[in-house]
């Protein structure tokens, strides 16, 4: 549909299309990287407690409790934390705050195969971008980013490939961009599942935010904290970067997180023991499913995330997707160059994954 009432900027957009949320409870849903395990009981308790008469009052615009919990978990100061309504919002604000708009501005760089929201934000804010091809094996070639640019965005682990870029690579990039006076955004949506289950933030670039003032790491509670339905995310970085994000938020909506979300997010970040347990289970499931698929002849690049990227030995991605769908299993297919033969499969419970593996055997 097109409308004469839309302005030219809105007419030119190609919005992001989120994964399907089917209402049929019988489907095995492995298409949006949600966590198969419930959130911590402490989160549910905190949310119930927050659902009281105080809802008549606006929430804390500074998100103090949430930011303090994130700061404690990651060993940074609350001033180095920005809280947002899901990491999508945090990323959108980061594009607005740190990357120059306008036709003549230097392009922001990100991989040709990565989270498909990045080009959407760039278009929304009028920021030029250039995609940098991943290597044949889907790895990020850091040297290709060491050229003048408007900044860079790297998802680590990358999506939808699941590949992890070593921290040496991230720091080489940060050091180069710092000299250029540009920001490096590291989207760590899946970082908890990296490094063979070593406790986060061992693999996070967050340990370097004191060293490089241009690194912003972006985090979500949707995946490892099992709270996709709550909408909470955050960014960690030098205080000046955080203040830049606050300037965007406060020119848009001072209360992006409601009282319920603030309470739930703070409780989640304070219950590392529970979440380490479910993360370990997901990593184990990922290892088992990857090995079984490889044994059947499927191609599965090594994943550091809560999903795997799978290619059938003979079928194209579209056919493989349809065959799984026929068997009641929903995964994600991106009909794009280089990856059209792959499917992204979120790690479900062991029971869900047994059904998936059975279906793959049949197919
Ligand atoms: N970054 C990446 C790489 C993702 O895959 C997702 C999930 N679609 C997000 C960010 C956004 O997560 P959320 O907005 O739920 O925090």
Mutate to test the pocket of ligand 1, among 159, 185, 194, 231 (most ligand atoms within 8 A of CB): 159
Architecture of domain 41-271: 3-Layer(aba) Sandwich (3.40)
Indicate the CATH number of 22-38+273-362 among 3.30.70.100, 3.40.630.30, 3.40.50.880, 3.90.1150.10: 3.90.1150.10
| Contact indicator for 154, 182 with CB cutoff of 8 Å | no
Q: How far apart are the first and last CA of the chain?
A: 38
pLDDT digits (tens), the chain, 363 positions: 889 999 998 999 999 988 888 887 789 999 999 999 999 999 999 999 999 999 999 999 999 999 999 999 999 999 999 999 999 999 999 999 999 999 999 999 999 999 999 999 999 999 999 999 999 999 999 999 999 999 999 999 999 999 999 999 999 999 999 999 999 999 999 999 997 555 556 789 999 898 999 999 999 999 999 999 999 999 999 999 999 999 999 999 999 999 999 999 999 999 999 999 999 999 999 999 999 999 999 999 999 999 999 999 999 999 999 999 999 999 999 999 999 999 999 999 999 999 999 999 999
Global pTM exceeds 0.75: yes
Residues 6+ apart with CB under 8 A from 4: none
| Ligand 1 site-directed mutation target among 219, 222, 334, most atoms within 8 Å of CB | 222
CA 189–ligand 1 middle distance (angstroms): 6
Which of 189, 219, 228, 235 most suits a substitution to test ligand 1, by most atoms within 8 Å of the C-beta? Answer: 189
Which among 87, 95, 84 has a CA at the least distance from the CA of 120? 95
Q: What is the pLDDT of residue 82?
A: 98
Q: Residue 115 CA: which ligand 1 atom is closest?
A: 3
Q: Point out which residues pair with 220 in neighbouring strands.
A: 233
The residue whose CA is least distant from atom 12 of ligand 1 is 87
pLDDT of 198 reads: 52
- Ligand 1 centroid distance, CA of 305 (Å): 12
Q: Where are the alpha helices (DSSP H) in the chain?
A: 8-11, 41-50, 64-74, 86-98, 118-125, 167-179, 239-249, 259-269, 272-295, 317-326, 350-362
Distance of CA 217 to the CA centre of its chain: 11
- C-alpha closest to that of 153 among 201, 121, 193, 194: 121
Q: Is 305 in the pocket of ligand 1 (CB under 6 A)?
A: no
Ligand 1 within 6 A of 28 CB?
no
Q: Is the CB of 87 under 6 A from ligand 1?
A: yes
Ligand 1 atom at minimal distance to the Cα of residue 88: 14
Nearest CA owner, ligand 1 atom 8: 32
Show me where the domains of the chain are located: 22-38+273-362, 41-271
**pLDDT for the residue 19:** 87
For residues 168-180, one letter each, b for 16 or more C-beta atoms within 10 angstroms of the residue's C-beta and e for the rest, the string is ebbbebbbbbbee
Residue 89 CA: nearest ligand 1 atom is 14
Q: What pLDDT was estimated at residue 196?
A: 57
């Amino acid at each position: 549909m097109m409308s004469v009432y839309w302005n030219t900027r809105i007419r030119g957009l190609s919005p992001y299309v989120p994964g399907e949320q089917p209402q049929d409870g019988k489907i095995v849903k492995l298409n949006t990287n949600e966590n198969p395990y419930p959130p911590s009981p402490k989160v549910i308790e905190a949310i119930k407690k927050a659902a009281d008469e105080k809802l008549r009052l606006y929430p804390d615009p500074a998100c103090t409790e949430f930011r303090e919990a994130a700061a404690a978990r990651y060993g940074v100061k609350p001033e180095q934390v920005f809280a947002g309504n899901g990491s999508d919002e945090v990323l959108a604000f980061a594009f607005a705050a740190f990357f120059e708009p306008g036709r003549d501005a230097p392009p922001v760089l990100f991989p040709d195969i990565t989270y498909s929201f990045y080009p959407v934000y760039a278009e929304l804010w009028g920021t030029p971008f250039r995609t940098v091809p991943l290597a044949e094996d889907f790895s990020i070639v850091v040297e290709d980013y060491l050229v003048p640019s408007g900044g860079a965005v790297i998802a680590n682990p990358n999506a939808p490939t699941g590949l992890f870029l070593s921290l040496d690579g991230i720091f080489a990039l940060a050091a180069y961009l710092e000299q250029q006076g540009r920001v490096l955004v590291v989207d760590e949506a899946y970082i908890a599942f990296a490094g063979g289950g070593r406790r986060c933030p061992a693999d996070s670039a967050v340990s370097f935010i004191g060293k490089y003032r241009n690194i912003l790491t972006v985090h979500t509670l949707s995946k490892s904290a099992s709270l996709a339905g709550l909408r909470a995310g955050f960014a960690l970085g030098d205080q000046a970067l955080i203040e830049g994000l606050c300037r965007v938020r406060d020119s848009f909506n001072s209360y992006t997180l409601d009282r319920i979300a603030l309470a739930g997010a703070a409780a989640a970040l304070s219950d590392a023991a529970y979440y380490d347990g479910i993360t370990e289970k997901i990593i184990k499931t990922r290892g088992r499913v990857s090995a079984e698929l490889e044994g059947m002849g499927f191609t599965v690049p090594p994943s550091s995330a809560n999903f795997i990227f799978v290619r059938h030995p003979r079928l194209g991605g579209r056919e493989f997707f349809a065959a799984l769908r026929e068997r009641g299993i929903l995964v994600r297919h991106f009909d794009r160059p280089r990856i059209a033969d792959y499917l992204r499969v979120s790690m479900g419970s062991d029971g869900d994954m047994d059904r998936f593996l059975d279906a793959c055997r049949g197919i």
